[in-house]
């Protein structure tokens, strides 16, 4: 049963009424961030109920020692964890010496709003304490885009039915732990606590990795909208510092605290300057003031939305869903720091360690290419190029040689740090996603120069891996790839996963094709790369022997490629025949039962057809969709978007819409019953693709032209989106009867609409009847 408590709204995520059962889910859904740091929507005041505290800083991690029952050669020594950072948002509230705790008082008129248009989070509620006092509370906070080391809070308390004392106790707490720690370790060491007048700072250091972070706060106050100064009382403990400020209020008075917080890290500043930088940041914030910072925040988000918004008319839940996905993607990564990447949970939780997966190349790059400058997507590719040496080390640990590269399934710094054998050793299809990301980028941006300068070295390392990973089968007289896990992680240690074999063949062929083009057009780079990689023509011929003779399991009877050699040995019972009491199977069934079943966690063969759609006929796409989709349980967040796009491409609009709703509201409606652990950030890029590539039918042709085949679900009146294609800003509008295209750029551009050429003059609107 999905959750259904989020109120539909075009621009906001809204919650009304306080339900303790929804606290952790809402902490995920209402998370805020700015691409450099972020936090779950924890309450500022004390809360004794079930909660998942979380504040995170991009790039700050800890190598949590691997915990397995049976150690195997090649296992990573650690699982990298994005650390739960020192808490700066805390404000203990006392009303006449009674602590405000929503778990211990009567809560009325509770409302929470995440305003996605302007980038802020607010709460309002009335609380009746055990001692009878009633207060009205209003809070608003945000993580600044323009000042990306700063956050700001406004916390106002109104004395509804009493006169008395309201005490604000803002604090910093560095005694923080990760909920997913393998050995229940503390990951932080407090080095210094420094107090000041209305400001404070804690300097902390991560164990093992040695990152240093200065966490600072500065506060100011208002009484009935008038600035006031209040004496402070100080309480310093081993890992925390707290100040207390008392405001005497008459009935109806409002007391307000403004709290500004900052993280200054050794990633960006000299260690001996961190405390000074953090203090300077909060002083700057306090001087600017909450209203000025908020105005800047609104302006920043207006700029972001101007190139990334998708408008849907006639379906408010669909509109809310896509904007939530776009909002979270921009909160997670803005491309300002090439050392950072996109974790599956972003800044909303700890699951998956917050590290980088293959999701970035497979799903996220198209979003950042089309909604921002191409340089942002290029930084994601450079992240992998800069870690090529580590990928070669990873492969070497598993017995590969001669510069073969295996990119990690999970990483912070290029080292593999995933500690499940069926993933670490077997889910090698991730290597192909690295190359597909390069192909997708070059195809979309026309920046082929990236390949001779950087990408070719990655291609060579990956091609060497596939050449060595395949082996020749005398029985089949072809090359096979044994003992793998495909995207469908409900099968492990299978032979000849179709998607993996296809990627291996394609990666080699694309590397050979690129080598030839670089040789012809970039001779100096060609000589440099071949010398650096010690690559010979004889070796590339050996690669081609594998690519040209790759085996693909196929059923002549069903006329489909098989997910792996033994797939038809399974009992093929459609998902529709599974009782609801058995779903999701990953929470109801034993792992043994799942592995023996026919059920597919996410697109596998269909993932291949999504990537390489042009290589298959529409009839082939239909046959494979009709065979595999009924067996798919969609228990991966990455599944619905691919099925939505493919369904649209074969004119199955009801199915495309069904899967779009699922992917766009996966977290908002908690389809997978796990949103309390954090949101599914990388799959949100797939939601964007579901509209742009699915309903909009946007593709780039082999000749480099932009092509559209727009369709619209019957549930919608219209939709509109904007894309940046090679510097051309194209607006697309589709209603039930018409389609409009406009070009905001200075140059005329020709596009294809339903395979017909359409010239888009600059600053003009073209109406197409459909």
Are 364 and 370 spatial neighbours (Cβ–Cβ below 8 Å)? no
3-class secondary structure, 356 = strand
Are 642 and 603 spatial neighbours (Cβ–Cβ below 8 Å)? yes
E strands, 614-661, in order: none
- Whether residue 508 has a cis bond before it, omega within 30° of 0: no
Query: CA–CA separation, 177 vs 155, rounded Å?
Result: 26
Query: CA–CA separation, 650 vs 333, rounded Å?
Result: 33
Strand partners, 32: 39
Question: For residue 725, what is the enclosing H or E element?
Answer: strand 718-725
Are 650 and 291 spatial neighbours (Cβ–Cβ below 8 Å)? no
Are 114 and 12 spatial neighbours (Cβ–Cβ below 8 Å)? yes
Residue 579 burial (CB count, 10 A): 7
Side-chain-side CA neighbours of 683 within 13 Å: the count stands at 26
Between the CA of residue 628 and those of 618, 643, 647, 660, 671, what are the distances in Å?
A: 15, 10, 12, 18, 21
Are 328 and 348 spatial neighbours (Cβ–Cβ below 8 Å)? yes
- Catalytic site residue from 113, 212, 489, 677: 489
Q: 634 is written with which tokens?
A: 């969609």
Distance of CA 204 to the CA centre of its chain: 27
Query: CA–CA separation, 178 vs 354, rounded Å?
Result: 12
Q: 544 is written with which tokens?
A: 């081609």
Query: CA–CA separation, 227 vs 248, rounded Å?
Result: 14
Question: For residue 610, what is the enclosing H or E element?
Answer: helix 605-611
Strand partners, 769: 738
Are 750 and 757 spatial neighbours (Cβ–Cβ below 8 Å)? yes
3-class secondary structure, 9 = coil
Q: 373 is written with which tokens?
A: 């400058």
Query: CA–CA separation, 690 vs 549, rounded Å?
Result: 34
Are 309 and 326 spatial neighbours (Cβ–Cβ below 8 Å)? yes
Q: 742 is written with which tokens?
A: 């406009």
Residue 21 burial (CB count, 10 A): 11
Query: CA–CA separation, 177 vs 551, rounded Å?
Result: 49
Burial of 98 (0-12, 13-18, 19+ CB in 10 A): middle
| Residue-wise burial string across 193-232, b where 16 or more C-beta atoms lie within 10 A, e elsewhere | bbebebbbbbbbbbeeeebbbbbbbbbbbbbeeeeeebeb
E strands, 387-474, in order: 471-473
Q: Is 489 assigned a catalytic role? A: yes
Between the CA of residue 663 and those of 7, 252, 347, 679, 682, what are the distances in Å?
A: 18, 46, 19, 12, 11
Q: What torsion do the CA atoms of 500, 436, 606, 734 make, to the nearest 10 degrees? A: 180
Burial of 164 (0-12, 13-18, 19+ CB in 10 A): middle
Q: Does the CA dihedral 305-306-308-310 come out positive or negative?
A: positive
Q: Does the CA dihedral 280-282-285-286 come out positive or negative?
A: negative
Task: Output Rg (C-alpha) for the chain, integer angstroms.
Answer: 27
Residue carrying the six token digits 């506060």: 219
Question: For residue 587, what is the enclosing H or E element?
Answer: helix 585-588
Residue 300 burial (CB count, 10 A): 18
Q: Which residues are catalytic?
A: 489
């Amino acid at each position: 049963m999905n959750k259904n408590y989020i109120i539909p709204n075009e621009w906001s995520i809204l919650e009304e009424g306080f339900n303790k059962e929804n606290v952790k889910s809402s902490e995920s859904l209402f998370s805020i961030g700015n691409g450099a740091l972020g936090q779950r929507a924890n309450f500022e005041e004390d809360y004794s109920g079930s909660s998942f505290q979380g504040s995170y800083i991009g790039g700050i991690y800890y190598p949590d020692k691997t915990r397995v029952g049976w150690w195997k050669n090649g296992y990573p020594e650690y699982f990298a964890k994005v650390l739960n950072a020192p808490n700066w948002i805390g404000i203990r509230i006392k009303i006449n010496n009674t602590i405000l705790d929503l778990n211990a008082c009567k809560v009325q008129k509770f409302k929470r709003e995440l305003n996605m248009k302007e980038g802020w989070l607010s709460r309002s509620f009335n609380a009746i304490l055990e001692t009878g006092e009633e207060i009205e509370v209003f809070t608003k906070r945000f993580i600044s885009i323009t000042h990306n080391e700063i956050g700001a809070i406004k916390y106002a308390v109104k004395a509804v039915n009493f006169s008395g004392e309201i005490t604000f106790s803002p604090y910093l707490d560095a005694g923080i732990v990760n909920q997913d720690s393998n050995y229940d370790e503390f990951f932080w060491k407090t080095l210094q606590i420094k107090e000041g007048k209305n400001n404070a700072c804690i300097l902390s250091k991560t164990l093992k990795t040695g990152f240093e972070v200065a966490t600072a706060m500065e506060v100011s106050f208002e009484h009935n909208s008038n600035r006031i100064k209040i004496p402070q009382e100080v309480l310093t403990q081993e890992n925390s510092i707290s100040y207390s400020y008392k405001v005497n209020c008459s009935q109806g008075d409002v007391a307000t605290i403004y709290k500004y917080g900052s993280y200054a890290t050794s990633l960006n500043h000299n260690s001996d300057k961190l405390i000074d930088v953090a203090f300077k940041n909060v002083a700057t914030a306090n001087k600017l003031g909450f209203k000025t910072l908020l105005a800047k925040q609104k302006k920043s988000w207006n700029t972001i939305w101007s190139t990334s918004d998708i408008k849907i008319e006639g379906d408010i839940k669909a509109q809310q869903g896509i904007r939530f996905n776009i909002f979270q993607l921009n909160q997670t990564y803005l491309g300002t720091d090439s050392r950072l990447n996109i974790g599956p949970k972003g800044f909303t939780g700890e699951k998956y360690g917050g590290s980088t997966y293959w999701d970035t190349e497979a799903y996220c790059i198209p979003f950042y290419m089309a909604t921002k400058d191409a340089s942002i997507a290029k930084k994601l590719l450079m992240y992998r190029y800069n870690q090529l040496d580590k990928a070669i080390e990873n492969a070497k640990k598993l017995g590969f040689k001669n510069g073969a590269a295996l990119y990690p399934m999970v990483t912070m710094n290029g080292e593999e740090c995933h500690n499940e054998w069926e993933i670490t050793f077997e889910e090698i299809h991730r290597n192909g996603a690295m190359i597909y990301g390069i192909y997708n980028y070059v195809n979309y941006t026309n920046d082929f120069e990236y390949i001779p300068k950087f990408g070719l070295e990655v291609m060579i390392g990956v091609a060497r891996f596939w050449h060595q990973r395949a082996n020749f089968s005398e029985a089949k007289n072809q090359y096979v790839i044994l003992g793998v896990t495909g995207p469908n992680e409900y099968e492990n240690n299978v032979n000849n996963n179709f998607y993996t074999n296809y990627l291996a063949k394609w990666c080699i062929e694309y590397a050979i094709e690129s080598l030839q083009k670089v040789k012809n057009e970039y001779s100096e780079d060609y000589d440099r790369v071949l010398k650096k990689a010690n690559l010979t023509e004889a070796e590339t011929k050996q690669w081609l022997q594998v690519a040209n003779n790759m085996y693909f399991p196929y059923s002549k009877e069903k006329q489909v490629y098989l997910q792996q050699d033994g797939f038809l040995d399974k009992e093929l019972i459609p998902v529709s025949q599974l009782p609801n009491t058995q779903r999701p199977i990953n929470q109801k069934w034993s792992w043994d039962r799942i592995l023996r079943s026919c059920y597919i966690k996410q697109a596998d063969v269909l993932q291949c057809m999504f990537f390489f759609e042009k290589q298959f006929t529409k009839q082939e796409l239909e046959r494979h969709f009709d065979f595999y989709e009924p067996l798919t349980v969609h228990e991966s967040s990455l599944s619905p978007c691919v099925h939505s796009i493919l369904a649209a491409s074969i004119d199955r609009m009801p199915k495309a819409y069904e899967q779009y709703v699922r992917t766009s509201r996966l977290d908002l409606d908690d389809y997978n019953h796990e949103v309390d652990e954090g949101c599914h950030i990388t799959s949100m890029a797939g939601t964007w693709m579901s509209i742009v590539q699915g309903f909009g039918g946007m593709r780039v042709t082999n000749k480099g032209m932009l092509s559209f085949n727009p369709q619209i679900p019957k549930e919608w009146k219209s939709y509109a989106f904007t894309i940046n294609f090679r510097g051309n800003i194209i607006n697309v509008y589709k209603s039930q009867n018409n389609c409009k295209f406009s070009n905001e750029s200075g140059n005329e551009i020709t596009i294809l609409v339903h395979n017909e050429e359409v010239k888009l003059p600059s600053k003009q609107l073209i109406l197409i009847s459909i």
